[in-house]
Chains A and B, each alone.
Chain A
Amino acid sequence: DAGVIQSPRHEVTEMGQEVTLRCKPISGHNSLFWYRQTMMRGLELLIYFNNNVPIDDSGMPEDRFSAKMPNASFSTLKIQPSEPRDSAVYFCASRGDSPLHFGNGTRLTVT
């Protein structure tokens, strides 16, 4: 079991650029979650999918953020245009009947 795989591990970009984060959930898990973690706000749920369908995106900060899950083994979180306040660690997590399993995260820095 390779676990939840995220890429890239680190991303440094300039304000205004598009950022795409990628996630491969654990095989067989039917729910996928995107979280953002900062010191100030802790771990915040951005959006989650069930069987590839977005169920709740109320945590997505604004229209600059979008997420897709074209199939059961892949999801993307896109920020366009990026802003310095988007700097955070972005975690993808998946679950089936088991508790939540997190990926290693993507540390995003927007300068």
Chain B
Amino acid sequence: RKEVEQDPGPFNVPEGATVAFNCTYSNSASQSFFWYRQDCRKEPKLLMSVYSSGNEDGRFTAQLNRASQYISLLIRDSKLSDSATYLCVVVGKGGSQGNLIFGKGTKLSVKP
């Protein structure tokens, strides 16, 4: 099993749709989790952290399921500007700063 796995997509959705991505991780001792967004030919940028109790930022909701070892990202009322690749990031045990493992990303395309 890969350390961090994501469905590469693409997810093609119409404007206004709700879309959800999952990301599974193999190390049960993983401590911190993030979602990054990467636009075409740009650098990854932090979208949001993922907290144990789940957290929301506007149209975006992130959740963590430790028992099943996955994190999720829900986007409501999707906009054309949400089109990007979404990368999940898992930080290993001990918070080793180098132990940030990136998934390969899920590509989202929002159509008019």
Interface residues of A (CB under 8 A from B): 31, 33, 41-43, 45, 48, 50, 55-56, 91, 95, 99-105
Contacts and interface: CB of A to CB of B under 8 A. Distances in A.
Contacts of B98: 33, 45, 48, 55-56
Contacts of A101: 46
B43 interface: yes
Interface stretch (B12-20, B55-63, B65-73, B102-110): B102-110
Contacts of B105: 42
Interface residues of B, number: 16
Nearest to B43: A102
Contacts of A91: 43-44
Contact of A43 (B34, B45, B46, B87): B87
Contacts of B103: 42
Contact of B104 (A31, A42, A99, A105): A42
A103 B43 contact: yes
Interface of B: 34, 42-46, 49, 87, 89, 97-98, 100, 102-105
B87 A95 contact: no
Given A55-B98, A100-B46, 12 more contacts: A33-B100, A42-B103, A43-B104, A45-B98, A45-B100, A50-B97, A56-B98, A99-B34, A99-B46, A99-B49, A102-B44, A104-B42
